[in-house]
Amino acid sequence: MPKSLLLTRPKGRNHSLQQQLASMGVRTSVAPMLEIQANPDSRQYTPAQLANWADKIIFISTNAVEFAKDLLQIIGRTQVQCLAVGLATQAKLSEYGILAETAPEHLQQTEGLLDLSSLQDVAEQRIVIVRGNGGRETLAQELQQRGAEVRYWQVYQRGVPECDINSLCQHWRQQQIDTIVITSGEALQNLRSQVQNNDWQWLAQLHFIVPSERVMDMAQGMGIQSVVNAQGANDKAVIEAVKQLKGEWDERQQNRGQQ
C-alpha cells in the first residue's frame, strides 16, 4: 500500500483528504502545484445578467462555485437548472442550498456530464459554463453541436505557486514519497516545468494518481510509468485509487512469495 503521498491541490483544499488518508495509515505531505485567484475579467457579465439569461448553469469545479457566490444567491431564487462536473462540486453547491445534477460516479468528468439525459436535447437552450481561465473546450463544443447557445463565465484564473522546488524535492526524498496525487492537467504541467531533469527522473518512477484519461496520457507522455486513473478529482475517487494501488502491491508481493 502507498505509505507516503504527496498532495498537490491548491492551498486549503487538501485537509479533508489528509484526514482520510491518515485514518488509513498513510502519511502525506502537501505542496500545492496550483494557485487560484479571482479573474478580474469576469466583470464582463453580472450575476443577474447570467441568471436571467440562462436555462442551465454548469459549474466545472469547486473553485468555480467559490468564486461565483454572488451568482449562487440569485439562482437559488430562480428555476435555472444547475449541473456540476463532479461530486465535490455538487457537494460545494449544496452548501449554498443549490441542488445540482452531476456526472455519474464512474465517470466524474466532462464526458460523464455529457452522457446525462438532461444534456441530450438542448437545442435552442442557453447554457452558462462557470469555470476558470482557459481549460478544455470539449463541453462547450459538444453542447453547441447539440444546438445550445453557450457562454463562459470565467471567474478565476490559475497560477504557479512560488516555491523552492529544489528544497521540496529533497524533502520529498526524505519523506520517502512513493505516490503523487495530481487532480488537474495544469498541476501536472506546473510540477514538470519547475522540477529539474535529475529530480524528474526520480519523480517519474513514483506512482501517480490522476483524475482522467486525458491527464493520464499527459503523464505517460512525460515518462511516468505508473499512472492510476481515478476517474475523478474528489476525495472518494482518490481514496479508491489508493486502494487500487494497495491491491496491485499486495498481488505483486503474493506472486513473489509463490516464486
pLDDT score recorded for residue 255: 63
User: 0.85 exceeded by the pTM?
Assistant: no
pLDDT score recorded for residue 1: 65
pLDDT score recorded for residue 2: 76
CB 92 within 8 A of CB 99: no
Dihedral sign, CA of 179, 136, 128, 133? positive
Report CA-CA distances (Å) from 229 to 84, 107, 123, 241, 244. Answer: 20, 11, 33, 7, 10
CB 214 within 8 A of CB 232: no
For the chain, the structural domain boundaries read: 4-34+163-258, 37-158
Looking at the domain covering 37-158, what would its CATH class be?
A: alpha beta
Q: How far apart are CA 74 and CA 168, in angstroms?
A: 43
pLDDT score recorded for residue 259: 55
One fold for both 4-34+163-258 and 37-158?
Answer: yes
CB 75 within 8 A of CB 57: yes
Question: Would you tell me how many other CB atoms lie within 10 Å of the CB of residue 193?
Answer: 10
Choices 3.40.50.10090, 2.60.120.560, 3.40.50.2300, 3.40.630.30: CATH for 4-34+163-258: 3.40.50.10090
Nearest to 110 by CA among 61, 173, 144, 147: 61
Mean pLDDT, the chain cut into blocks of 10 residues (259 residues total): 89 93 94 93 91 96 93 88 93 94 88 94 97 89 97 93 93 96 94 95 96 95 95 91 81 61
CB 53 within 8 A of CB 126: yes
